[in-house]
């Protein structure tokens, strides 16, 4: 292992330790709890354990938690030939529980102290069962959070306001250009998809990235459906993202009419693909803060839209 891997592992371990002091039980617990009643048999329990791939479950009498029954109880009851007996004879009473709003560290400590496989989670005020915490939930929850942290870090590294300010110019913009093929339905959407990934990488806020790429996707579909192809040109500036959709024709005869929601000249086969309902241009307008459409029949269309960030 080289040094950077070691230091990264150490920092991940340190971060994991921090996380158990940051996260609450309710953020990682499983809210979907399989329960049994005291009157169910151990045979029922065995069926449920197998069906849901779990190793134990809370025992509920009405709304109240009265015990926990586990795989161990099932195995022991089988050994003794008593698996037709009700759960109430086998369950562990006075189960150790966690509160939903407790810090995860308390869960970790309880796993250490009691060696149980799971802890029912209850609401501090209502005392109702709201979830269950297993070691699996715990590990998955931590991993999920670490992954999210990592992504956040990656994005922060590129935050446009940071690197933009380092570039010495009177005006700075970054351009991304995508070529779109007319009538290529298999790939229709690919350009906007790539654009979205890049905008996220560049640290554009998610809601702005979402709006600009929904608009861009509609523009891309229009290009594939109606034209012989063209380009999507994205320009990223410190305060806004602009997309210019340029195509090589045939052009829109009546721009005002084309902007009307529901107006479409798309043939039926386009509708079968889920488009051509006359919502493309109106959607682009709704998603963007600025929009400009110029078109000349026989020459092509120049559609420009922008979202402020």
Partner 1 sequence: MRAACQKTAEAQHERSSMTLREIIETLHATVILNKVGNNVVVERGRAADLMSDVLARIKPGALLLTGLTTPQSIYTAEMADAVVVCYVRGKKPGEETLRLAEKKKMVLISTSLPMYESCGRLYQRGLKGGSET
Residue 231: CB minimum distance to partner 1, A: 18
Residue 172: CB minimum distance to partner 1, A: 27
Residue 63: CB minimum distance to partner 1, A: 7
Sign of CA dihedral 263, 269, 270, 273: positive
Residue 33: CB minimum distance to partner 1, A: 4
DSSP code of residue 24? B
Phi, psi of 137 (to 5 degrees): -55, -45
156: left (phi over 0), alpha (psi -120 to 50) or beta: alpha
10 versus 257: smaller Cβ distance to partner 1: 257
Cα angle, residue 252 at apex, residues 250 and 258 outer, rounded to 5° = 145
- Encoding tokens for residue 110? 């309880």
Binding site for partner 1 (CB under 8 A): 30-37, 40, 44, 48, 60, 63, 128-132, 140, 185-190, 192-193, 196, 206, 210, 213-214, 217-218, 221, 271, 273-275, 277, 279-280, 282-283, 286
Residue 268: CB minimum distance to partner 1, A: 13
What span, in angstroms and rounded, lies between the C-alpha atoms of 138 and 143?
9
76 versus 286: smaller Cβ distance to partner 1: 286
219 versus 306: smaller Cβ distance to partner 1: 219
55 versus 283: smaller Cβ distance to partner 1: 283
Residue 198: CB minimum distance to partner 1, A: 13
- How distant, in Å, are the alpha carbons of 5, 171, 215, 276 from that of 238? 35, 9, 20, 34
Element (H, E) at 164: helix 160-166
Residue 3: CB minimum distance to partner 1, A: 32
87 versus 246: smaller Cβ distance to partner 1: 87
140 versus 292: smaller Cβ distance to partner 1: 140
Contacts of 221 (CB under 8 A, 6+ apart): 188, 189, 275, 280
Paired with 306 in beta bridges are 242, 290
Q: Is-contact 44 124, C-beta < 8 A?
A: no
Q: Is-contact 34 50, C-beta < 8 A?
A: no
40 versus 242: smaller Cβ distance to partner 1: 40
């Amino acid at each position: 292992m080289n040094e950077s891997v070691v230091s990264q592992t150490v920092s991940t371990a340190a971060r994991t330790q921090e996380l158990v002091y940051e996260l609450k039980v309710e953020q990682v617990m499983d809210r979907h709890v399989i329960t049994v009643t005291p009157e169910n048999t151990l045979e029922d329990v065995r069926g449920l354990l197998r069906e849901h791939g779990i190793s134990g479950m809370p025992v509920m009498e009405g709304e109240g938690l009265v015990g926990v029954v586990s795989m161990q109880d099932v195995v022991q009851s089988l050994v003794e030939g008593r698996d037709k007996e009700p759960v109430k004879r086998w369950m562990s009473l006075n189960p150790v529980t966690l509160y939903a709003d407790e810090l995860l560290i308390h869960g970790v400590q309880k796993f250490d102290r009691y060696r149980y496989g799971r802890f029912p989670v209850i609401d501090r005020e209502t005392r109702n069962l709201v979830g269950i915490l297993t070691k699996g939930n715990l590990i998955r929850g931590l991993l999920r959070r670490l992954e999210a942290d990592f992504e956040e870090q990656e994005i922060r590294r590129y935050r446009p306001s940071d690197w933009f300010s380092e570039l010495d110019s009177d005006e700075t913009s970054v351009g991304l250009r995508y070529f779109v093929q007319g009538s290529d339905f298999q790939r229709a959407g690919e350009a906007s998809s790539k654009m979205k990934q890049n905008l996220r990488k560049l640290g554009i806020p998610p809601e702005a990235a979402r709006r600009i790429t929904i608009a861009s996707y509609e523009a891309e579909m229009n290009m594939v459906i109606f034209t012989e192809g063209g380009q999507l040109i994205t320009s990223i500036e410190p305060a806004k993202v602009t997309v210019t959709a340029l195509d090589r024709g045939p052009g829109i005869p009546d721009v005002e009419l084309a902007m009307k929601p529901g107006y479409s000249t798309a043939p039926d086969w386009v509708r079968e693909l889920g488009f051509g309902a006359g919502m493309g241009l109106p959607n682009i307008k709704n998603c963007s803060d600025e929009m400009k459409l110029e078109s000349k029949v026989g020459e092509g269309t120049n559609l420009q839209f922008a979202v402020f960030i």
